[in-house]
Chains A and B, each alone.
Chain A
Amino acid sequence: MWEYTEKVLDHFRNPRNVGEVEDPDGIGEVGSLACGDALRLTFKLDEHKRIKEVKFKTFGCASAIASSSALTEIIKGMTLEEAEKVTNQDIARYLGELPEEKMHCSVMGQEALQAAIAHYRGKGVPKEETDIVCKCFGISGKEIEKVARQNNLTTIEQVTHYTKAGGGCGTCHPKIQEILDRLGREERPEMPADKERGRRRLTNLQKIKLIEETVEGIIKPALRRDGGDLELIDIEGNKVLVGLRGTCSSCPASGFTLKHYVEGKLREYVSPEIEVEEVAP
């Protein structure tokens, strides 16, 4: 059973704006029956070129329906310039959170919106059909690159969760890896959206550096104020090994400090998956 938030369940049980706008200004269609999900988005603008009416029809699972419903609520009243800045992360955030395996539902929402805006502007559907990487689900390299960049994806599994690419026969995995490798070599500017959430996809090097910075710049100064200190000993994946020094080493509340303060700060600044363990001196 998926762990859906109450908001996802609410938008699934009581979807907003179901249907098709009559005589629409823009139509966006993505997905297919074979893929297991599909979305048709239609909107109409008012005299100020704001989205006056927007409706959806979706074939898909609970999170696909909820993502579509959320999308319509988000963009209602927006100008197209505002609407085209809406990302899949905005949809996921609006719903609280989506299971990572279901992120492709939010991506489908974003794609349908962009297709509908492009349709309004007379550009047709900008789906790149030329460089199909994943033949099972018809996903192009451009799409994979775009979603991977926006969501800072680093593994093939993540790409599959977000775009479906690679979820079928698996023969495109080397191609997806090539794209990821290429993106990894580029400098990655931090996404403002990630910063807000305190969550981002980090390479190991980035993670280690960030842990060091957090320990040196935030955690150590705070501990030192109470005469304590801490030594960063090693990092194994998400496990951070530390030694407590100074008054911390003999403090009866050190376990509490470690779990609540040190781990809390590292989770806040680095990754929610961080675990802190004390190594005996």
Chain B
Amino acid sequence: MKTIYFDNNATTQVAPEVLEAMEPYFCQRYGNPSSMHSFGGQVKKEVERAREKVASLLGAHPDEIVFTSCGTESDNAAVRGTLESYPGKNHFVTTRVEHPAVWNLCPYLRQKGYRVTEISVDRKGRISLDEVRSSLTDATALVSVMYANNETGVVFPIEEIGRIVKARGIPFHTDAVQAVGKVPLDMSKSTVDLLSLSGHKLHAPKGIGALYVRRGTKLAPFIIGGHQEKGRRGGTENVPYIVGLGKAAELAEQRMAEETTRVRMLRDRLEKGILERVPNVLINGDTEHRLPNTCSLSFEYVEGESILMMLNDLGVCASSGSACTSGSLEPSHVLRAMGVPFTAAHGSIRFSLSIYNTEEEVDFVVQHLPDIIEKLREISPFWKDFKEGKFSLRAAG
């Protein structure tokens, strides 16, 4: 059975070009970039070349790029490193829809005595700029707002938020793990001070990430050790993976146009096809400001895990914000923050595409999904009631 991979916000296929670029750095060019001999020195040059490629994708200077082990490390380094740099300030501002890499820092920081403000979002997952503005105080050490949401694909107006934050002279971090490679970014014209990215979301392997640190930004090191990364992140450089991330960044820059046109077209074809063939489906999130590859749908009266399992039987990979898929009992915190009724959140499915997907794959899902939903609705006690007009979710929710 062929795998149809529509779960690219979870992780992506490593591009063959990336793997090829990494390959020599395991058994042949395995030197340590810090060594004094040219065997290591030549490797250092490749690390710096990769840094230039990542910088180029972001419109940044190479010396503003710090390699890390993953997106979560980048987020932790940015948030905890900044707070440590401002010991006199005890207020952290973020949103209610962040990835756990930032969101789960909130209870930790509260425990450490910080005051944490989590900005709310509306029914479409949009943030209120007024709420951002009014949350800021003289004690605010850092504002961290994700660039694009992993579950809904909603893109926040980062520059507008950044202008408000920078007007108060407060450092500004964005978790751009889902945005890098999918939307064009230019740090040279940006208000962002710190930006996190993760390799495996843009066709590099798992285990490599980067943090953009604007020149002049105060940041205590998160991992203390050797002089690597100019003392900002100790630990021998993960050379093959850094080379891989460099290659992935280069490819992403070349393929940005394809991402924003062909991938968007595939996503729209998928979404339109499903909405036309399946009744009682809601789109989660602001469709006006959304990543080109992401589509989050709620299928009313059926439960997400069941849909995923049936898709899985057809070789189709997707995700759900349903409670049952996570082992927790409540649906995703993102959908709850948006006020999506539990009833619809339980039936939510996220499709996230990449440049490796094809029209045939989209059509296969559009063709088979209606049968899955129909089968599950036949089993569901609520579907018949709804059809007979006994109740309606939207009235209840």
Contact = CB atoms under 8 A, between A and B. Distances in A.
Interface string B204-236: 000000000000000000000000000000000
B328 A36 contact: no
B379 A36 contact: no
Interface string A173-185: 0000000000000
Main secondary structure of the interface of B (DSSP, over half): helix
B306 interface: yes
Interface stretch (B73-81, B116-124, B276-284, B297-305): B297-305
A18 B374 CA distance: 14
Interface stretch (A61-69, A87-95, A146-154, A193-201): A61-69
Contacts of A39: 381
Contacts of A40: 381
Nearest to A18: B379
B329 A15 contact: no
A102 B327 CA distance: 8
A36 B303 CA distance: 7
B346 interface: yes
Nearest to B328: A167
B101 interface: no
A60 B328 contact: no
Given A36-B323, A60-B324, A164-B329, A12 B306 contact: yes
Contacts of B323: 36
B381 A36 contact: no
Contacts of A15: 379
A241 B129 CA distance: 61
Main secondary structure of the interface of A (DSSP, over half): mixed
A209 interface: no
A39 to B, nearest CB: 7
A36 B380 contact: no
A274 interface: no
B309 to A, nearest CB: 5
A280 interface: no
B306 A34 contact: no
B139 interface: no
A40 B382 CA distance: 10
A37 B303 contact: yes
A35 B309 CA distance: 20
A12 to B, nearest CB: 6
A61 B342 contact: no
A57 B379 CA distance: 5
A60 B342 contact: no
A168 interface: yes
A34 B342 contact: yes
Interface string A7-51: 001001101001000000000010001111111100000000000
A136 B379 CA distance: 25
B95 interface: no
Contact of B303 (A60, A137, A167): A60
B393 interface: yes
B303 to A, nearest CB: 5
A160 interface: yes
Contacts of A12: 306, 309
Given A34-B343, A37-B303, A167-B329, A61 B379 contact: no
Interface residues of B, number: 30
Contacts of A137: 329
Interface residues of A, number: 30
The residue in B329, B346, B378 that gathers the most chain A C-beta atoms within 10 A of its C-beta is B329
Contact of A65 (B304, B313, B342, B379): B379
Nearest to B312: A1
The residue in A13, A35, A59, A164 that gathers the most chain B C-beta atoms within 10 A of its C-beta is A59
A58 interface: yes
Interface string A49-90: 000000001111110110000000000000000000000000
Contact of B329 (A33, A64, A168): A168
A59 B329 contact: no
B378 to A, nearest CB: 7
A59 B380 contact: yes
A269 B303 CA distance: 39
Nearest to B346: A36
B160 interface: no
A15 B381 CA distance: 14
Contacts of B325: 61
B382 A33 contact: yes
Contacts of B393: 33
B159 interface: no
A268 interface: no
B330 interface: yes
Contacts of B379: 15, 18, 57-59, 65
Contact of B306 (A18, A29, A65, A101): A65
Nearest to B396: A33
A215 to B, nearest CB: 36
Nearest to A62: B309
A101 B327 contact: yes
B331 A36 contact: yes
Given A36-B323, A58-B381, A168-B329, 15 more contacts: A12-B309, A13-B310, A33-B301, A33-B342, A33-B346, A36-B303, A38-B382, A57-B381, A58-B380, A59-B302, A61-B303, A64-B303, A65-B306, A101-B327, A136-B330
9 contacts: A13-B310, A36-B324, A36-B329, A37-B303, A57-B381, A59-B303, A60-B303, A61-B306, A61-B309
